[in-house]
Structure formats: C-alpha cells, structure tokens
Amino acid sequence: MQRKVNMLLLAFGLLGAAVGAVIGEALRLVLPESWPSYVTVGLYFGQLALWIGVGCLIAELIAPRLNGHSWRQRYTDLSWKLLLPATLVLLFVVGAALQFVFGLDFGGTKRVKDIVLVIDNSGSMSETDPDGERYAAAKGLIAEMNKDKRVALISFTDSAQLLQPFANVGTEERKEAVYSVMDGIVPTDEGTNFSQALGEAVRVIESKDDQRRGTMVILLSDGFSDSSIAEQLNQLQSRGIAVHTIGLKVGHSGGIALLKEIAESTGGHYYDVSQSDGLSAAFQNIYMTIDNRMLNAITAGAPEEHDIYKVLRILSYVIIGAAIGLSLGLLFDNRYLALSFGLGGVAGGSLAGLIMHAGLSGGAIQDALTRSAAAIAMTAVIALFTLVVPIGEKGKPGRKRADALAHVDGGSRGGKRNGRSHGF
C-alpha cells in the first residue's frame, strides 16, 4: 500500500473532464426542452463520467503508475468492457435519480400550476400596442401549457375585470376557449390603476378551489399608476406569490421603477420590452421559470431558490463525485482505487458543489464556465487523492499473500529436489 500519483492520469483526466464539459453544454442546447429534466441531467453526468474514464484509462495504459504493469498485461480487456457500464450507465442513473429528488417540492415550496395574466387595456395601449401583440404573446404562452396548468385572465384600466376564471388549458379546445375571450376584449381610452389590477389578482387567487397549487402572476403594462399598492404587495408576499412584470415601451421613469418594485418585492422579475414584437420572448422567458428546477443550472429570472435546494445541490454533487470516483475504481477493477477515488470524489464533489453554489447566476456563459470549473476541480481532487489514501496495484499480492506464495513455491521446489534425489 503506497501513496502515489499518476500525473499523466491527472492530465488526461482533466482533459476528459474538459471534453465532457463541452459536450455537456452542447447537449443542453440541442436536447429537446420537452424531455424530462432527469433524462437531460442524467445524460450530462453520464457522458462526463465517460470522458473522464476514457482519459484515466488511456493514461494508465500508457503509464500504469497506479495499477501496475500486471494490470496492463492481464486486465486491459476487462477495463474496456467495463468502461460504458461503470461510467456512462452508472452516472446516468445517479444523475437522473438526484435530479428527480431535486425536482420535488420541499420546505413548503409549491410548483407553479396556476398562472394569472393581468393585461393592461388602458387608452395608451392603443398607441403602444396597436396590433394587439400582447394578446398574441399571451396566446403563445397558453399554447405551451400542459394539461396540469390553469390560467386566469384579468383586463385592467382604471378598474379591473376578471374575464376568465381559472380554467384548465390542457386541450386545444380549452385553449381556443380562452383565446376567444381575448379576442373579445375591446380597446378603451381609460387610465391605469395597478392597485385595482393587483387587488383583483389577489381576489382570484384567494377564491381558488385548491390552495395547494402554486400560483404566479404576470402583469403587463405600458404606463404608471399613482395608486397605493402596499396592501396588495403585502398580501402577495404573505402567500409567496411571485409577480413577473413586463413593461412595454414604458416612457415614464416612474412606471419602470414601479414595475420593478412589484417584481422584486414579490420574488419575480421585470422584463423591459422596447418593441411589441419582443413580448413573446418575454412571456416565454417567464414560462421557463416554471417546472424547470435543475440540479446543474439556474433559470434566468426565476425566483430565488429556497435554502434547502442550495444545500441539496451541494449534497448531490458530493454523491456524484463519490459515484465518479467509484466508477473509476470499478473501471480498473481495483478496490483500493475505488476507496481512494471514492473518498476523493466526496472531497472533490464538495468543492464542485460549492463552486456551483457560488457561480450559478442564470447567465448562459457564466453558468457554462461554472459547470466546467466544477467538473475540472472535482476530477483534479479525485486524481490527486491517491496521495492521501494509499493504494495497492491491481493483480499484485499483498505482503502476507506474497510470503505464503513464496513459501509454497519454495516447498514445491524443495519437494521436487528431494524427490529427484530419492529417485536416484
């Protein structure tokens, strides 16, 4: 049992982690959004482990510093056969299981299933959005909703009117029914009152038949309201309702500040849209914050995660690190390496989890760099942990076993010599 390190394995392992990180980012871009999150996350970690394993295996084939020359002579074929099941398959299962758990509701959180659309119909909207792009964008949002989602529609000016109570939009017929309600909205020349709009949203939410369903509000306007909204914001905050706001060509600086205040005080996000044709993208970005709790990513504009998910992400990376370390031990069929790499994976996974916790922001480039840094740091710690936990070479007998074999071998040779002398 020795403490030693294979620097070539470290270099090739880091190269494999870098390749896996790049391919993982490509997969995140090309895989259909309709795929279950546990499948995409499982594939991300499965292929990452595969490339790390390929790098480590090639390094040991070139310079068998950890497993010894006897492994290279006798066990190479076995390692190639174990490559896919020990890395890709194992980490796909582990990653998928952890993502499934990460997607569950903990700490009193509620998955958003009900959406309240609060749309400005004041007189200024006839100039800001003369072609009714806001309704087309809202229809596009509803078109994306699955059978578990419900939508309510409120139109507001100086007053607010509930045009559509919560309705399930799981079928095309039900979607069309809501579309027809939007088509019936008549333009007005009235003013804007956010207090009435938010108050009506609160009343709709309070009247829900199932308060266990998570709710989100999307408020769209182009103007400013001088009405007091403190009471409505307190009611929304106490219920944990996030209000995402969309400002369309808002010319009043106070209007922008007010829409930002509504969003930030409730845990929502403000979207500034300079042209009406950008409304669809704003609605889609908001919808992406629903049902999209990812172990290895944060959606831009999503409400801040509950502390339990921050801790759960770090713990998940600890498990993933340990699983990758164990997979390398299985790959080499070496229990000493499995122990050393596994413990290294716990340490490396902890470091990777902290990197993810500190670096994820919702930005595409920054998050890609954060995931890559986490993968590389975890791999480096795993590869270097043989300096901490001693290992033995694959196929090389321990000292007691070697002494026993030498004794048996010596006795056999002595017996043969004795036999030959007696024979003569």
38-53 pLDDT tens trace? 999 999 999 999 999 9
Q: What is the pLDDT of residue 339?
A: 95
Domains of the chain: which residue ranges?
Answer: 7-105+306-401, 112-287
Specify the DSSP class assigned to residue 104. S
Residue in this structure with the two tokens 């909207």, named with its chain if needed? 125
164 near 155, Cβ under 8 Å? no
Read off the tokens for 240.
């944990």
* C-alpha 196: how far from chain center: 37
Report pTM: 0.74
Q: What are phi and psi for residue 149, nearest 5 degrees?
A: -95, 150
Task: Assess whether pLDDT exceeds 90 at residue 197.
Answer: yes
Sign of CA dihedral 354, 360, 365, 366: negative
Q: What is the pLDDT of residue 402?
A: 45
Specify the DSSP class assigned to residue 86. I
Nearest to 232 by CA among 209, 201, 263: 201
Q: Which CATH superfamily is domain 112-287 in?
A: von Willebrand factor, type A domain (3.40.50.410)
Share of the chain above pLDDT 90, in %: 62
Task: Assess whether pLDDT exceeds 90 at residue 409.
Answer: no
DSSP-derived pairing of the beta strands 150-156 and 242-248: unpaired
Q: Give the lowest-confidence range in 129-133, 251-255, 323-327.
A: 251-255
Q: What is the pLDDT of residue 394?
A: 58
- Burial of 217 by CB count in 10 Å (0-12 exposed, 13-18 middle, 19+ buried)? buried
Task: Assess whether pLDDT exceeds 50 at residue 415.
Answer: no
Q: What is the pLDDT of residue 303?
A: 67
Longest dimension (CA), the chain: 125
Q: What is the pLDDT of residue 201?
A: 96
E strands present in 261-420: 270-273
CB under 8 Å to 282, separation ≥6 — which residues?
Answer: 137, 246, 271, 273
Quick one: angle between helices 37-62 and 76-83, nearest 10? 160
Q: What is the pLDDT of residue 255?
A: 85
Q: What is the pLDDT of residue 268?
A: 86
